[in-house]
Amino acid sequence: MSKVLILVGHPDLSRSKHNAALLDGVKDLDHVTVHDLYATYPDFAVDGDAERDLIAQHDVIVFQHPVYWYNTTPLFKQWQDTVLTYGWAFNYEGRRSRTAGKKGMVVVTIGGTQDHYTCEGLVGRTAEELLNNWDSTLRLCQFDIQPVFKLYGTDFGVPHEDVVTAGKQYRALLTSFS
């Protein structure tokens, strides 16, 4: 059975509505481990060895966070800088990395609506364009990249039933990886 590791980069999950709702729908799955980065590293002192060990023990790595300033949250950046080291996660010499072949999936909650995230909309870019840094990071690390899972409109009154539907889709997706 494939083991799924969800790395969560929400600054305070106890105050989260949408990331918490998504996690509530999947955390009881036997093959899923939820790892709350902000709770583990409130001082941002990410333990690279411990994080690399965790990744090595899992087959599917999920990177879940709210979109902050069209990007990931600050601790996730620190996590990338500390954990995804040359020689382990990537190299330029064509060697197989330690993350090669693991499924990598980005899961984001987005304050703006889908209409905002268009060429003509308020943001002027799609969410995929803005999250291309994740895509290139996962590509460099030789992940098997999965489509980005998005929940839009979290600051614009996304209907409760849409959150419930997203939770069910998230659960079905992670179950399909088992």
Ligand X SMILES: Cc1cc2nc3c(=O)[nH]c(=O)nc-3n(C[C@H](O)[C@H](O)[C@H](O)COP(=O)(O)O)c2cc1C
> Which residue ranges make up the site for ligand X (CB under 6 A)?
10, 16-19, 66-70, 109-112, 154-155
Q: Closer CB to ligand X, residue 23 or residue 46? A: 23
Q: Closer CB to ligand X, residue 5 or residue 21? A: 21
Q: Closer CB to ligand X, residue 18 or residue 52? A: 18
d(CA 120, CA 141): 33
Smallest gap from Cβ 48 to ligand X, in A, equals 26
Smallest gap from Cβ 143 to ligand X, in A, equals 23
Contact in structure between 144 and 97 (CB atoms under 8 Å): no
Contact in structure between 109 and 49 (CB atoms under 8 Å): no
Q: Which residue is nearest to ligand X (CB)?
A: 111
Q: Closer CB to ligand X, residue 63 or residue 90? A: 63
Torsion of Cα atoms, 85 then 133 then 135 then 116, to 10°: 150
Q: Closer CB to ligand X, residue 17 or residue 139? A: 17
Smallest gap from Cβ 174 to ligand X, in A, equals 18
Measured over the CA atoms of residue 156, residue 162, residue 163 and residue 166, the dihedral's sign is: negative
Smallest gap from Cβ 1 to ligand X, in A, equals 29
Smallest gap from Cβ 8 to ligand X, in A, equals 10
Contact in structure between 82 and 132 (CB atoms under 8 Å): no
